[in-house]
Amino acid sequence: MTTASTVETTATAADAPAELTDGYHLVVDALKLNDVETIYGLVGIPITDLARLAQASGIRYIGFRHESDAGHAAAAAGFLTKRPGVCLTVSAPGFLNGLVALANATTNCFPMVQISGSSERHIVDLKRGDYEEMDQLAAAQPFTKAAYRVSRAEDIGLGIARALRTAASGRPGGVYLDIPAAVLGEVLDAAAGAATLRRVVDLAPRQLPAPEAVDRAIELLANAQRPLVVLGKGAAYSQADEQIREFIESTGLPFQPMSMAKGLLPDDHPQSVATTRSLALKNADVVMLVGARLNWLLGHGEAPQWNPDAKFIQVDIEPTELDSNQPIAAPLIGDVGSVLEALLERTKPGQITAPASWREQLAARSAQNIAKMAKRMAVEHHPMRFDGALRAVRDVLAERPDVYVVNEGANALDTARNVIGMSVPRHRLDSGTWGVMGIGLGYAIAATVESGAPVVAIEGDSAFGFSGMELETICRYQLPIVVVILNNGGVYRGDDVNSVSSDPSPTTLMLHARHDRLIEAFGGKGYQATTPTELTTALTEALASGGPALIDCVIDPTDGTESGHITHLNPAGITVGAQSTATK
């Protein structure tokens, strides 16, 4: 029997309006469901409310002054955490600015997702001239690991799950997710919307190598007379630190760390050949690449940089990378951690050993090179040169292994990489595979946001210009970042002249620029250093303050070489005068 109270209750429930949601809420809910804690971006139509909603829901939003810098931050976050960093941009120009960073993330194998709003599809497809009209999906596809578009609010959960999974699994990379404004604003039943959300389980599943492949590699190493291990940033990304250390130390194999792999084992480790790289590469007969690719950074594995008879073992998660430059005698397909575990399990005690004569040869050359560098670094130059400035930075950072180092430039990058040792994994981030400028302050912001640790960003004055406005971002969020600008007044160096007019030469910047005053405009602390002693004092004080700071280091404008250590990549050219004569 139905009571009056039951009828009344039922009628009231039936008459109540259904709870609604929209695309904005579904995006935020999907990100939270998948443990996204931070979004890097720059707001505008149509994603401003999305950023507000994310912030209100507990996701930290870090707002930048340029989308490219926000994208670089998301990429660095992906490298440091092994989870896709998320970048949020507006449509068309904002999307394109972010795409630069997304492409760079793909090239460097960093997991990253760029989410962009976009214009109405039915107008864009007919090219009717909508606000910021662009087929963003088509533009993104050539430069990313994958690109997806969400066309219905009910597919937002699927789209985000697909993007996160694709970015992190297999070889990591950049993924673009296009969400048109109409989809963000689409309204639907809240319960039905919630039911469409998905949580990705085991974001990047392990990939184990075949036992026979492991045994093949072990046999090659066991018979090598001059073995060498090259550790790439893929090894650092893997976070297989203990397995890597155990394998290196138990076998005694010499190792060469690439720049972002520095710190997996300390740079002063007795098996490191970082200070005698040329000798090691030219003479090694069996080379094991761990998360490293034989691209231009390793001379494509070719003579004269390498022993032409060297045999290569390659540890990589992507099979198509194999044989891309040199024949790979022993492919090891799998994630770095799983491969190293398999090597440790299947190698018999004493089966792999580096011959004493080879290790002694490397150690002797290393000692010579270290002595030469120490002598060079000890010379005091007036005005200050790169060596003196970076010696001061090195000595301060030696007492602060917790500090992350971000580094970009030409001479600023090359010299710092050689001078400043690392003892902790994933504490050095630099220009990477493409060698791009502009990653500096974005990477620095992500490093401190993701870790909570202080950061020193070592910048060439030219490289700093690409992201310099993010000083305001650093100060707005009161981040513990110290920017050190090696200011020699030019691109490469500051003494070039224009012989035909009063205009500056193509490589000339403002020699007496006061970068320290830029950060003071935003409330940070500025310093100018003209000697290593002044730089030591300033950097020590800036790190102790725990706040935003910038040190403008006045460097001799005649110090530096064009393109740093890669001058050989410039085409052979002739002088302006010779060109003029040739055209007469």
Catalogue all structural domains in the chain, each as residue range(s) with its CATH number.
20-195 (3.40.50.970), 211-365 (3.40.50.1220), 379-569 (3.40.50.970)
Question: 8: pLDDT confidence band, cut at 50, 70 and 90?
Answer: very low
End-to-end CA distance of the chain: 109
Residue with tokens 């069996």: 286
What pLDDT digit, counting tens, does each position of 166-198 carry?
999 999 999 999 999 999 999 999 999 999 999
The DSSP bridge partners found for residue 550 are: 483, 526
pLDDT of residue 46: 93
pLDDT of residue 188: 97
**Does residue 574 have a pLDDT over 50?**
no
Tokens standing for residue 167: 């970015």
Tokens standing for residue 481: 């970042």
* Mean pLDDT of the region 285-307: 96
* Mean pLDDT of the region 419-424: 96
Residue with tokens 């709870």: 19
Mean pLDDT taken over the chain: 94
Give the range among 8-22, 295-309, 544-558 with minimum mean pLDDT: 8-22
**Does residue 526 have a pLDDT over 90?**
yes
The candidate with the shortest Cα–Cα distance to 140, out of 168, 190, 195, 100, is: 100
Residue with tokens 């662009």: 134
What pLDDT digit, counting tens, does each position of 314-351 carry?
999 999 999 999 999 999 999 999 999 999 999 999 99
Displacement of CA 159 from its chain's centroid (Å):
25
For residues 506 and 531, the answer to whether their CB atoms sit within 8 Å is no
Helix, strand, coil fractions of the chain, as percent rounded to 5: 45, 15, 40
* Mean pLDDT of the region 284-301: 96
**Does residue 11 have a pLDDT over 90?**
no
pLDDT of residue 18: 84
Quote the CA–CA distance of 56 and 230 in Å, as a whole number: 46
The candidate with the shortest Cα–Cα distance to 115, out of 247, 22, 26, 17, is: 26
Quote the CA–CA distance of 103 and 210 in Å, as a whole number: 32
* Mean pLDDT of the region 114-121: 93
The candidate with the shortest Cα–Cα distance to 460, out of 340, 557, 579, 569, is: 557
pLDDT of residue 314: 98
Residue 511 backbone phi and psi in degrees, to 5: -60, -35
Outline where DSSP puts E strands in 350-423. 404-408
Residue with tokens 């939003």: 61
* Mean pLDDT of the region 372-389: 93
For residues 425 and 263, the answer to whether their CB atoms sit within 8 Å is yes
* Mean pLDDT of the region 270-276: 96
Written as one letter, the residue type at 12 is T
* Number of Cβ within a 10 Å radius of residue 569: 9
pLDDT of residue 133: 87
Question: 16: pLDDT confidence band, cut at 50, 70 and 90?
Answer: low
**Does residue 128 have a pLDDT over 60?**
yes
Helix or strand (DSSP H, E) at 166 = helix 156-168
Question: 59: pLDDT confidence band, cut at 50, 70 and 90?
Answer: very high
* Mean pLDDT of the region 224-241: 98
pLDDT of residue 564: 63
Quote the CA–CA distance of 223 and 373 in Å, as a whole number: 34
**Does residue 299 have a pLDDT over 50?**
yes
Displacement of CA 257 from its chain's centroid (Å):
16
pLDDT of residue 581: 35
What is the SS3 assignment for 297? helix
What pLDDT digit, counting tens, does each position of 483-524 carry?
999 999 999 999 999 999 999 999 999 989 999 999 999 999
For residues 112 and 85, the answer to whether their CB atoms sit within 8 Å is yes
